[in-house]
Structure 1
Amino acid sequence: MLTLRQEDILLGCEASDWQAALDHAAEALQVAGLVEADYRQGLHAREAQSSTYLGNAIAIPHGTPESRCHVKQTGVRVLQFPRGLDWHDGQRVHVLVTIAAQSDEHLDILRQLTHVLDRDGVGERLAAADSPAQVAALLSRAVVEARLDAETLCLGFPAHSAEELALAAAARLRQAGCVAPGFVAAIAEQAPLALGQGLWLAHSHREVATPALALATPAEPGAVNGVFCLAAQGDAHRGLLERLSVLLESGQGSELAGASVQTVLARLAGEGAGAETLTVRVLNAHGLHARPAKQLIQVARAQGLPIKVRLAEGGEAVAASSLTKVIGLGARRGQRLVFSAEGEGAREALAAIDQAVRDGLGERVTPFDEGRDAPPVEASAPAPEPLAADRPHPAVAASPGLAIAPLFVMRTPRFDYPARAADAAEQERRLGAAIHEGAEQLEALVTQARGGEVAEILSMHEEMLEDPELYQAALEGIRDGASAEAGWWEAIETAARAQEALADRLLAERAADLRDVGRRVLGILCDVAMPEPPAHPYILVADDLGPSDVARLDTARVRGLLTARGGATAHSAILARALGIPAVVGAGERVLTLSNGDDLILDGERGQVIPRPSQERRDRAELRLKEREAREKAAWAARFEPAATVDGHRVEVAANLGNTAHAADAVERGAEGVGLLRTEFIFMAHAQAPDLEAQIAEYREALDALDGRPLVARTLDVGGDKPLAYWPVPQEDNPFLGLRGIRLALTRPEVLETQLRALLMAGVGRPLRIMLPMVKDVAEFRTVRVLFDRLLEELPEAERATDVQLGVMIEVPSAALLAPSLAAEVDFFSVGTNDLTQYTLAIDRGHPELSAQADGLHPAVLRLIEMTVSAAHAQGKWVGVCGELASDAAAVPVLVGLGVDELSVSARQVPLVKARLREFDLEEARARAELALAQATAEAVRDALEAR
């Protein structure tokens, strides 16, 4: 297993760009004697396949499987870039964890790093670290926070002296399992420290298992209002002591005497005495994951005053407007959240929060039932309809690539057992025998694994089975009348929930391991076999996968990933892309009806799977698989050739950018311009709206890099799913149909005017195209045109762009239907197929169940594009497509056949799209367009195009 040592860390590195940084990393590996010089090409080739950006300013470059022959010895080098690097996918990187691996040892490092993804501020601390030890500490261990909850409080204790209360608090920590007897003895040997306001503090580092803070208060307050007892470990208690200090500074310390448990937790969480509070239960099936958390912060931001939130069982109150903080709570279904706010309008703000949480935060929810929602036995449900054989099943493309292999469905088995049993002695015997058999199973698996990460994880499971406290907790349940199965599972769930309540990523992963161990023993007790993956290559099918699950995969056998739930932006999908594993997610429960061993074609680019394919379809897929690598190499070699069909019909291929700094990389990849500059990301990078000079500098950087190639800049497009902290938008029932795009920009015309002025001034002597988002009809365009024309008159020609056009995006169906009236006045159209598709089909493209049906090749969408092109060409105007459809290999000839003049895709896709254009002529493209328009559904379109 790879481990991170201080001598592996290089501080203060600098590079002009990400390519130079990769070269620097390759040189560091070579100097260390880990690789040969040719490994450098492997690093660049791996990055060309997909970004190795992991998160929190960390990238994990590693070579391709083909480059492993250049690895002399497995090892790692960590390069710190304090000034930062703009990575090619738009991310900012401060640390490269560069890996030389002879097989799949890089998964060890990846697994170790998954815990840093959600830790706030790690990127900044990595950049500021001035010693290898600091970098190693940040990357190698998770932040542990001291425990403070109802179980660590001892309120109303019949004692008066500080010494007696200190011992009572220490005893409470002992009862909670946080400390051993030596800690209590250490507290007994010291005199508590006076904090003021009748509060005292006793503390020790001796025999601390879990850092925690206890509070004991007297039954009758007097000179002593309470004694804190701190079980210290490292700096885990720092946050609690800081909040205690704030409480004392505000003069509210004495209020803890006689206070209730909830009041004490509230004050030590940072809630003021005058705050309005609200307690509400999380109803979402999967807790506060990214989607509902995002809805929550939008509601919180819309209230116009600060709102805090914490878990009811304890912990720090964090800003409800911070996505990372809210997700970091790790709130599960059934847990209660406490919201607080102070000032005028606080009660109304909390009422809005209450309603939003009860409504499900954008998800369908069911009421919480204590008996139904917390059973140890998985409830049965009607099986969904099985997937048809040899038929494409659409889902969400999460990681590119094509996989053909037998599938393995990772199903959680269903356990049926009685909750109660009368013969406690027999139940204890059964449990002991099952634990012993489970340990033997794990020991055999460890031997088969022959070392490596799998063996390490299984060994950890063995240790969990030997945990005496876990066994004792199960015995206590059995002696109270529970069956062996019920007593064991209750012990497992209690321990797992205790781990999860600490809101620590690594401990949450340990909770999953606990349940894995628990199910193994439960399976023995119930005589239910646990699923084991096959020894041959396979495609893994599961309900969902977490980052740690993906990091543990044996990539020598796992050809692809397919999940019923999840989204393309989940960490599991990000990690799958980093590992180069094709993945399709959000496919629905029907994929769980597939049978182990059935062949499956998984297409991570199209976002579809085909179970039990016919031999003909399989042969075609295998041919695609073989051709893919050759096509990518040939596309890269010819990336600078003009984009044209076989018969010479020119179609410009441009790049979509979110960062002006990446324009140079787009040119290096063969882009003939920038077809979509998402300027909102420039605004999102600033704490307030960037001024004229800042915007000019940003736009000029892209124009300079393009060196005469055209730049199409979209004006500020926020609202909906892209809020700006300094531009709050009132809460809307459906923000995607509310204030967003140009309609939001027109509410702040001074911001829009500054942006237009900056674009014009930056574009001196360059071809500049400006387009307006979310235009529904010509009236909105005319409003902006008046402002635009005035700026053209105000700015001298020598100080502004003269080769400039003003166009609109076709994203709203009404704009496509009214394209003739728009085409008479605009200079160009650019079709945003992502939004046009979701608005045409009435499907939110982020919907967990329906997003797979939001296919831009739906004939209704294609007809709207056809209408747009016809109207534009009738007026001599050009049309581009800048949505995801522009890089879809099946859609490219259809779009060309419809008359589209420009395709704008991600910079990485530019060589492949140019290569795709060289595979057909204009006549063939028109025939494909006619064929697509003649179909009735998106599925029929894809089938017809594939069969042609």
Structure 2
Amino acid sequence: MKFLDRFRRATPATNPAPCPAPSPEVLLAPLDGTLQALDTVPDPVFAGRMLGDGLAIDPATNVLCAPFAGTVVALPKTRHAITLRAANGAELLMHIGIETVGLGGDGFVAHVKEGQSVAAGDRLISFDAARIAPQVPSLVIPLIVTNGDDFVLRSRAADGSVKRGARCCEIVPAAIAGSSSMPEAPPEAEGEVFHCTSEIRDPFGIHARPAGVIATRAKAAASRVTLSLGGRRADARSSVAIMLMGAQAGDVVHVEAIGPTAQKDAQDIAELIAAPGSGAAAREPRPASAPAPALAAKPLVAVALDAPGIRRVFSGVSAAPGLAVGVSRRLVHEQLDIPENGAGIEQEMAALTDAIARTRSAIESAIAHFSEPGPVEHGSHGNQQTEILTAHLSFLDDPYLRSTSDEMITAGRSAAFAWKNAVETQITALRQLGNEVLAERAADLLDIERRVLLVLCGRNETALELPDNAILFADDLLPSQFADLDLKRVAGICLAASGPTSHVAILSASYGIAAIVAAGPDTLRVPDGQDIIIDADKGQISVNPAVSDVAATRQVVETRRARVDANRQAAGEICRMPDGTRIEVVANLGSVSEVAGALANGAEGCGLLRSEFLYLHRTSAPGEDEQFAEYQAIATALAGRPLVIRTLDAGADKDVPYAHLPTEENPALGLRGVRLSLWQPDLLRTQVRAILRVKPYGQCKILLPMIATLADVRTVKAVIAAESEALGRDVPIETGIMVEVPSVALIAAQFAEEVDFFSVGTNDLTQYTLAMDRCNARLAQQLDPFHPAVLRLIGLAADGARNRGRWVGVCGNIASSPLAAPLLIGLGVTELSATANAIADIKALVRTLDMPRCRAVAEAALALDSADDVRHLVATHWPTIGSGS
């Protein structure tokens, strides 16, 4: 999170937001075309004025010009839209065509840059209409006043043909017009103003859960809080409006708070925006070649069933890994009879209020249930359920959903009809944003829609009776429906629609239930009681397979289960290869709360403590005593086992606002890791002192991130020596470096003279070796640490360390892959620092490995051409890794 603006009073001299001049701005036609009402735009986001009021032009020419003199405040890289700010402060979004963001800039040429001043009539963007039109629903251009709480439109010209430069309307400050088109702010929202920005860290952007948390906090604020991103603005009290911003990972959201507690409200919400993702955020991105979720699959009840016994094989997208054998069970959604006309405004309003209240009570009871200690199935799984249900609560309080429903009830519609239409308008808008994850989050709105409708219709969702080892087949599965399942009877899930980042996918993975999504509407034809094999690892569903296949799969499932149980039972034993070679298997940790789980899985210590957990999402650096207390607590919990503490690894995608990092064009190559610590030496000295105080001496080791030069190592070692002397510590502390920059691997022998150990960070080493941004989802499939070039650098680092008597560990993601263990050991690695859940399986595998064979396969891997070839080589020599056989 970057607090770019310090606290200030709302005066013309200090308030960064423009103060509207008390005069209207004439909006001129930006190009030739047909002027039309915003309602006619074939997109509910624009037509429904979710982004603000305005008008639209169906273009007859292909150059968009400035409709007034102003400043370019937003111009996305895709160049399909632009936002101008007028002299009176009005901000106008001009969006060329519908769904044109998906073109990635193809067919658009920008003639201006962000921050540039333009005169009325200046060229802004040229577009190739003939090229674009066949690819999108419409070329109509909405013109939207995005800060509609401050401005209104009046004196609008009549619909029809218009020439560039012709008068279209006036944009008038609301103070003059005497009206406002936005919901009223809280009455206390006057006075102090605070502005800040926050970068989105959740890899899936702002979706349902974070939006719900943000909205809940904003509703409790005494200030009015507004979020903006480019030309889009959202009342922070509305989780739907927040999601409709379409905010992506890496986007910087502007937070504005006006009110008596503006600073705290803005900072709190900015921290929520910047919070890392959970559940879905930890999942791997879906392969680019995978089919898109079938968002509009036919309702299950409308699909004709296959005859029993028909053998079929379906393919879908893996949402939760696993292999299962069972029998099919269809989930049929009960169709509700929704009357269109109401029985009276007061009666329908009261009915909707009562239904929302009863739904809220039911959700709160469910949250309390999952928050209770006791049943094993609660635990972290219950936390997932609680997060999702809490987001659902925020939808019930959403001001836009309620106000839209109330308007329809006032017009004579029934409460059920009004609620259904209000929610489905937002669902349609989410699905048309071009953001797959937000489209998948539409299921959460569907869930709330159905809960309220069931109450309004006087119906209860009938509990689904399940056979043992049921394989559920459905179009989609709402989170509330998942929560109502007897999960002890569920072996697998197959959904025609949904997606791999949906909440059902997250919950399935959390409970260890094999799940496949986006399998297509034909899966809805499978009747109940059919034999099913679901192989979620391969994304395949076999209906009525051969009896021999069923028997063989059951054997594999039992073997896997037995192997996992056996591995966990033996996880506490020291890890050695058959020839006695010691391979330490330790855990990557982020806080003291993770220690117990790691030790239960057999961790022999901590190979990487990410100390940044103490530094992120706060406005000032942690002090020495605070850090010492945390480090000592972790050391104590490890009961004398090794603890490797990495010094602050911030910069790039992990920002610490109090470090006042400069803006960098290439932050991944700039002030990050140890470079930041050396740039802010007080941060480094404070952290070093805290680590040096941890007892018993010898348990802790210091690990330095982002080392690229010997000079950096020597500088930090001098700091450690000076602080040791100042503390009176006469026991030396082992100091190592991360091998994540190729320069270290290439001259590893020289670095080994200066340090006690190496720890290879394969995530960054792969990024810098292959010149691929590890935060870029489009490159995720190519950013593979099994690439021979990356393996060769690991081998060079191990050779350099071994020649100087140093040890080498690996703490990157590859260390958690059993498939990588023979390679890494063959290259000379003697410590694997993995995620807790992977430790037991890795230790079990290492105990079976033959060192000469590991070395031979590792050497052969270096001569291959690709990561895929390397994986195939390892799988050929150790075919049982990951197979369960």
TM-score by length of 2: 0.50
TM-score by length of 1: 0.47
Of structures 1 and 2, the one with the larger relative CO (CA 8 A, separation 6+) is: 2
